[in-house]
Amino acid sequence: MYIFKVIADDAEKMHLHFIRLSKTNKLVLIAYFSCLAAIFQSAGGLFPGIGYLISPLATAPLLLCTALSLPFGLLSYMLTMLLLLIIQPSELIVFPFTTGLLGFGIGISFCFFKRRLNIILGSTMILTLGITTLLYIIKFPVLGPTVSTSFSFFTGGAIILFSLFYSWLWVELSIVCFGRLKSIIIS
């Protein structure tokens, strides 16, 4: 069945190629990915309307960076938050708990799991924890003013279903991108 299949080892091959790079090349690549993530995340505040369509793309650079190397992925996650503090401080509360955490979570899942279902469920759990922490513990209305910040099973179930769909979408997109990037990077 499709969901239980072992995914290709494209991420692992890119990781092995990344290890062979010099320390300077690694740091420049991490800085580049962090800048891209910060620019994508701040697009929602800088360009209202179309910027909200660009903002979810902040997941991709962090996902790729974390899949290449866990320590450098964490470094990119922290550097992106620092850049957001300078560029768009209002996005700093959303990024660490949603798009940034999802990219970091999927990257970690690619490193530890080989089956598509495990990667999707792992990233779903991380995104769900991030959104619920932001909504119920910090009391930030991440889902808009119409959704209450007091716990509701309906809202919790909707968050889980949304996280499952959104994680599945990003995992499928990243598998395709890893396949294409592997041929570019390794050649």
The rounded mean pLDDT for the chain is 90
Q: What's the whole-model pTM score?
A: 0.90
Q: What is the CATH number of the domain that holds 87?
A: 1.10.1760
Bridge partners for 115 per DSSP: 6
What's the pLDDT at 186?
65
How many domains, the chain?
A: 1
Residue 26's nearest CA partner among 83, 65, 52 is 65
Q: Domain range spanning residue 88?
A: 2-186
What's the pLDDT at 117?
92
